[in-house]
Chain A
């Protein structure tokens, strides 16, 4: 188990390193440099000014030097300076992290509590009308863009309840109820989509396990459906479900990008979109690295959970 974890950790570090190179080159290979884009709205920039700005931003140095500097700063926790706010990026990002994290966790909870039970019901009632209804429900979730679902939810609230959700961030200390609603709605929109995948995988994993001999034995012993399904079958079907939840967590962060925009929540994802639109590239590359770290950590966590849930992984190493 330990060697296995170290191996995973090594791969994770390698992946992060590779990703940093990819992101770095991607943003440097883009046509036109940052100065062009930044000041294209400001009209003519004299050559002297241009050199000055490039020097200030450090983009006159060779690419390798720039890269080394970035990595050194990143490892020291220095995420650079935001052009837009003219203050260290970390100071801008730090208050945004809890928002995104809260939303991600809430959405995952919605996804799990919606996806696993519907998957189980769909599997034990296979090919009944109920199964079809649940499957179409989940397919619909996969088809609808989360941001659109969010817009429709807001629209519904406004038109039918004559209630406009808060347009600015409400902290839990200010008003807990409004805060819960403000986070609950986007979590519902994003979680519904993720629940669809969890439902599908739960259903298929459970269907596979239900054909095993030991389940027949359990039935033959006269055990109740509740015990057979929830105790015997689900325990062995849960592994692929956990994998999907882990993978989904990464996708979820992608989904939050737009949902935070729609619901006006001041999170990391919305900030990333804004940084991209402002061509605030140092911030973009740091935020993308930050997301990559979160994704890779969540994958590692799933790997560790495997060992906990499945003794075979633990012994096998």
Chain B
């Protein structure tokens, strides 16, 4: 059945209807998001600031983050050292700024990696169904049976401390969580009529899975990633705090809080306070943003 090219286009729509049908510009969408979700917008703003800090850490730093200065040991916040100095005389402000880099790189990399593999597994498991699905689910149960932190701890210890290994250790526990979310959304999309239509015209399974189903899981996928980002940042901080995460000399927020800070906490409370604020702010921002995105992109979960 061929539709004549002049068919639907020939109808002249009134200007208001055309405006309503037109795709809203990015600015309009953003404006609406800020108006409707002020908390989410605040979260987004926090994340943008932290991201810019991470990118331009070399510009906004006031000192070399790993240069020690014996004269400044444990000095209080001052004009010279905005957030004070640590037990080796290193500038806390510059270290916090550089810590944003480590936190974001590890957080984003592990979230993307875990969600990517989890997403693929969830897509195939949900699409193929049957025994494959059942077995996959049981295997994911195994990975999910341990507290995220315990699994990440054991993996990080087994692999050895390095940035790549921390990323792997955090991303593996994310895989089952991502797979669950994507699978659930694939299960409902699979039954849609347009998928049936694609099958009817003879599309191959792989094409249906990746061209017709996958793009429609993008909403839950984004929601999942923002939700996991906060917990990935938190796990990285915890691992580094325990000495199982990002090794020295990289300034990592968790590492800054570890033993040395606890030891000098009484003399120099700024060593405990500021890196912790930084972690909390980053996780707070990504949680706020994640909640708002979830409400916007995935109405079924609204208010959850």
Interface residues of A (CB under 8 A from B): 11, 14-16, 18-19, 22-23, 26-27, 29-31, 139-140, 142-145, 147-148, 151-152, 154-155, 158-159, 200-201, 203-204, 207-208, 250-251, 253-255, 257-258, 261-262, 272-273, 276-277, 279, 284, 288, 291-292, 295-296
Contacts and interface: CB of A to CB of B under 8 A. Distances in A.
B143 interface: yes
Interface in B241-282: 241-244, 254, 257, 261-262, 265-266, 269, 272-273, 276, 279-281
13 contacts: A26-B154, A139-B288, A140-B284, A142-B284, A143-B287, A144-B283, A251-B147, A257-B242, A258-B242, A272-B153, A276-B153, A288-B150, A295-B147
Contact of B154 (A140, A208, A284): A284
B234 interface: yes
B303 A31 contact: no
Nearest to B142: A18
B278 to A, nearest CB: 10
B147 A250 contact: yes
A284 B238 contact: no
A257 B288 CA distance: 26
Nearest to A201: B304
A295 B145 contact: yes
A61 B266 CA distance: 51
Interface residues of B, number: 46
Contacts of A292: 145-146
A152 B272 contact: yes
B279 A151 contact: no
B150 A257 contact: yes
Given A152-B273, A251-B147, A291-B146, A29 B241 contact: no
Contacts of A23: 154
B233 to A, nearest CB: 10
Given A204-B303, A276-B244, 11 more contacts: A15-B141, A15-B142, A139-B287, A142-B230, A145-B237, A148-B279, A152-B276, A254-B150, A257-B153, A258-B238, A288-B154
